[in-house]
Amino acid sequence: MEPAALHVVRHGQGRPVVVLHGAGVDHREPEACFEPILGQVDRLRRVYPDLPGMGRSPAPESLRSSDDVLHLMLDFVHAECGREPFLLLGHSWGAYLAREMAARAPEQVAGLALVCPVLTGDHDVPEHRVVAGPGGLGDAVFRDYFVVQTPEMLERYKRFVAPSAELVDEAAMERIGENWGLSLAAVPYPGPTLVVAGRLDSTVGYAGAVELLGVHPRATLAVVDDAGHALPHEQPELLGALIRQWLARVAP
């Protein structure tokens, strides 16, 4: 598959920041969460691709593992950015991919931000617990994803998450899911890194994110209370402050 086959939405001019969404959605979810933050920063070109098999990006039979997706996304950023330094930001599975992409191109990746990252290994996850809202709103996916279950969060889910889920190529995701683990680089990314986890994330937990402090020498870590796997929706102000501080650490 050629990188040009990927559907991409771009905003702005300047240094590229490539934003990768999680599994089962498309670019619309991170665009809704991160564009209000990144769009306020001067001289950033925000790049939101649909990962293969999601949104409007196809997933041919040749894509059969997370490693295949990783190699495709490395080809994509090289085609998109040339030799120009770029930033990587990912949520969930997108963070899993972004972390390995940065490890394989550390000389070109100027900064890495991981939000609720999927990680290898077994880690305990907290029990799902609603911290705000009346409960009983929305469908089962909403109730399992959000710990802040207010009408405002339900509206965000209906606008930015549920429509994305309708475009998932389930057969492709099943193929890739059979070989979900990535082949990890020997040396993790050494540059400016931000790791943000939800203390109530019952999907991936936060223990693995804490462990990243030991392998990323320039990492800032935040474990956010009253936030789950939908942290970008649930805690936008705090996430915005953390991302702006990360951007300030990235060399111009």
* Both structure tokens of 139: 């469908």
The tokens of 1 are what?
């598959």
pLDDT at 71: 95
Q: Quote the pLDDT of residue 3.
A: 74
How do the pLDDT tens digits run along the chain, 252 residues long? 777 799 999 999 999 999 999 999 999 999 999 999 999 999 999 999 999 999 999 998 989 999 999 999 999 999 999 999 999 999 999 999 999 999 999 999 999 999 999 998 788 899 999 999 987 899 999 999 999 999 999 999 999 999 999 999 999 999 998 998 898 888 899 999 999 999 999 999 999 999 999 999 999 999 999 999 999 999 999 999 999 999 999 966
- For residues 246 and 37, what is the distance between their CA atoms, to the nearest angstrom? 12
Task: Give the model's pLDDT for residue 134.
Answer: 86
Helices 170-177 and 66-81 cross at an angle (nearest 10°) of 110
- Note the pLDDT of residue 53: 95
SS (H, E, C) the chain: CCHHHCCEEEECCCEEEEEECCCCCCCHHHHHHHHHHHCCCCCEEEEEECCCCCCCCCCCCCCCCHHHHHHHHHHHHHHHHCCCCEEEEEECHHHHHHHHHHHHCCCCEEEEEEECCCCCCCCCCCCCCCCECCCCCCCHHHHHHCCECCHHHHHHHHHHHHHHHCCCCHHHHHHHHCCCCCCCCCCCCCCCEEEEEECCCCCCCCHHHHHHHHCCCCEEEEEECCCCCCHHHHCHHHHHHHHHHHHHHCCC
Give me the pLDDT at residue 251, please.
Answer: 67
Question: Which token pair is 177?
Answer: 């899911």
Q: What's the maximum distance between 2 C-alpha atoms anywhere in the chain?
A: 50
8 Å CB contact between 208 and 126? no
* Structural domains in the chain plus CATH codes: 3-249 (3.40.50.1820)
∠ Cα 175 181 184 (to 5°)? 140
Tokens (6 digits) for 11: 């905003």
Model pTM above 0.75: yes
Distance, in Å, from the CA atom of 221 to the CA atom of 193, rounded to the nearest integer, reads 9
Residue 252: its pLDDT value, please? 67
Residues for the chain: how many in total?
252
